[in-house]
Amino acid sequence: MTAVAEPAASPSSSAPSLEGEGRTLPGQLLRLAARRPKAVAMRKKTLGRWKEYTFQDYADRAAKVGLGLVQLGVEPGQKVAIHSENRPAWVIADLGIQGIGAVPVGIYPTSPSAEVHYIMEHSESVVLIAEDEEQLDKIMAVREKLPKLRHIVVIDIRGVRNLDDPMLMTFAELERLGEQQPAAEWARRAEALDPSQTAIIVYTSGTTGPPKGAMLSHANLVAAGHIFTQAFDARPDDEVLSYLPLCHVAERLGSTMNAIRVGYVVNFGEGGEAFMTDLREVQPTIFLGVPRVWEKMMAGVQIRLGDASRLKRGITRFWLKKGAKLARRRMDGKLGVGGRVMGWLAWVMAFRSLRDKLGLGRVRIAISGAAPIAPQVLDFFWAMGIPIREGYGQTEGTALATYTPAEDVRIGKVGKALPQCEIRIAEDGEILVRGPGVFPGYFKNEQATAETIDEDGWLHTGDVGELDEDGYLSITDRKKDIIITAGGKNISPSEIENRLKVSPYVREAIVIGDKRKYLTALIGIEADTVGDWATRNRIGFTTYADLARKPAVRELVRAWVEEVNTELAQVETIKKFELLTKELDHEEGELTATQKVKRAAIAREFSDLIEGMYS
Work out whether strand 265-268 and strand 40-46 pair parallel, antiparallel, or are unpaired.
Answer: parallel
Whether 8 shows a pLDDT value over 60: the answer reads: no
For the stretch 535-570, pLDDT in tens is 989 999 999 999 999 999 999 999 999 999 999 999
CATH assignment at residue 543: 3.30.300.30
Pick the last residue of a domain from 244, 264, 282.
282
Q: Which of 1-15, 347-361, 397-411 has the lowest mean pLDDT?
A: 1-15
* Same domain for 100 and 240: yes
Q: What is the DSSP letter of 470?
A: T
Helices H / strands E in the chain, number of each: 23, 27
Q: Which of 95-104, 114-123, 305-314, 439-448 has the lowest mean pLDDT?
A: 305-314
Q: What is the pLDDT of residue 10?
A: 44
Q: Which residues contact 278 (CB under 8 A, 6 or more apart)?
A: 45, 241, 243, 267, 269, 270, 271, 359
Q: Give the integer Cα–Cα distance in Å for 149 and 492.
A: 44
* Same domain for 470 and 493: no
- HSE-up (13 A, CA, CB side) for residue 201: 27
If pLDDT is split at 50, 70 and 90, which confidence band does 505 have? very high
Q: Is 536 exposed, middle or buried (0-12, 13-18, 19+ CB in 10 A)?
A: exposed
* Same domain for 213 and 79: yes
Crossing angle of helices 183-191 and 88-99, in 10° steps, is 70
* Same domain for 496 and 465: no
Q: What is the pLDDT of residue 477?
A: 81
* Same domain for 506 and 468: no
Closest CA to 422 of 467, 480, 365: 467
Buried/exposed code over 570-589 (b: 16+ C-beta within 10 A; e: otherwise)? eebbbeebbbbbebbebeeb
Provide the mean pLDDT of the chain.
Answer: 91
Q: Which of 47-61, 197-211, 237-251, 398-412 has the lowest mean pLDDT?
A: 197-211
> 531 in a domain, yes or no?
yes
Q: What is the pLDDT of residue 4?
A: 59
Q: What is the pLDDT of residue 494?
A: 87
* Same domain for 467 and 488: no
How many residues are given for the chain?
615
Average pLDDT over every residue of 94-106: 98
* Same domain for 270 and 130: yes
Whether 2 shows a pLDDT value over 60: the answer reads: no
Q: Which residues pair with 53 in a beta bridge?
A: 42
Average pLDDT over every residue of 191-217: 90
* Same domain for 498 and 473: no
* Same domain for 218 and 106: yes
* Same domain for 218 and 92: yes
> 294 in a domain, yes or no?
no
* Same domain for 517 and 430: no
> 571 in a domain, yes or no?
yes
Average pLDDT over every residue of 39-62: 96
For the stretch 394-431, pLDDT in tens is 999 999 999 999 888 998 899 999 999 999 999 999 99
> 518 in a domain, yes or no?
yes
Average pLDDT over every residue of 438-447: 96
Closest CA to 81 of 29, 152, 141, 19: 152
Region of 142 (left: φ > 0; alpha: ψ -120 to 50; beta: rest) is: alpha
Q: Give the integer Cα–Cα distance in Å for 182 and 41.
A: 23
> 169 in a domain, yes or no?
yes
- HSE-up (13 A, CA, CB side) for residue 171: 23
Look up the domain containing 96 and give its range. Answer: 18-282
Q: Give the integer Cα–Cα distance in Å for 524 and 578.
A: 9
Pick the last residue of a domain from 264, 282, 300.
282
Q: What is the pLDDT of residue 598?
A: 85
Indicate the number of domains in the chain: 3
> 396 in a domain, yes or no?
no
Pick the last residue of a domain from 461, 477, 493.
477
The overall pTM is greater than 0.95: no
